[in-house]
Amino acid sequence: MAARDWELVGAPNARDLGGLPTADGRRVRPGRLIRTAALGRLTDDDLPVLGKLAPACVVDLRHGTEQAVAPSDRLVGEPRVVHLPVYDPAHPVFTYVSAVLLGHDLDAYEELAREGMPAAMAAIYRWFVTGESARAGFGAAVRLAADGASLPLLFHCSAGKDRTGWLAAVLLTALGVDEAVIRADYLRHNELTESLREVLLVAMTRQRPDLDPAVARPLLEVRPEYLDAAYDEVRRVHGSFGAYLRDGLGVTDGMVAALRANLLD
């Protein structure tokens, strides 16, 4: 199956990172790294496609509370499933986002509510860099990708845009892909999910008539400033992406070399 000639109806933002160019003229090997949304809404027609992709390992970045309220992933064959929850149920930004979605009282979140949802999303991306479970989960995922036995590797969170998007950025940076190429792939989520996003907004506002679509929309999109917030945090805390990989994620030079050996043509 050639890169990017397939689609999953139940995960419309799914894509192979194969074919993306590195700064030194190589390319990410097709069929090795696959990013998706959660797989619980795959259709019956999607399953043969997933079977041809044949992931050896599926990384699920969701917290157990998210898994509990979602349909179980639909898988083909017997891939190794690794649960690496990147989530902090006690973090005020996460609880604020939940409160907005669930219609809870926002009095306790006066400052966050004043700053708005885009600022909350940027705070979550900064947490991706510094949060304990984020560093543990993303670091473990990179080590799996460096392990040839775990390839092809499929990774997802719930919507397949934020945690999945940052993990894709981490992996692609480690492989030597330019930031502009990474950013373009990250932003493809909006194009691939445009019709679904509008359906979700209608459903959310029907269920919650008091919910302003302008408040909800930033939750359903990816935006350049979200990715910028994570990159800025990497520079602020670690000085460089290489130092973030090493000191933040525990990814050694040997692991980066294995990543490139296994994943680049």
Q: CA 47 from chain center: how many Å?
A: 21
Active site residue 57: no
Marked catalytic residue, from 157, 175, 222, 234: 157
Strands 57-60, 33-36: parallel, antiparallel or unpaired by DSSP? unpaired
Nearest CA to 186 among 226, 156, 147? 226
Residues in contact with 214: Cβ distance below 8 Å, sequence separation at least 6, in sequence order? none
Sheet holding 57-60, edge to edge: 15-16, 33-36, 153-156, 57-60, 80-83
HEC sequence for 62-130:
CCHHHHHCCCCCCCCCCCEEEECCCCCCCCHHHHHHHHHHHCCCCHHHHHHHHHCHHHHHHHHHHHHHH
Gyration radius of the chain's alpha carbons: 18
For residue 16, what is the enclosing H or E element?
A: strand 15-16
Write down the H helix ranges in the chain.
46-53, 64-68, 92-102, 110-115, 117-130, 132-146, 163-175, 179-192, 194-207, 213-220, 224-238, 241-243, 253-263
Catalytic residues: 157
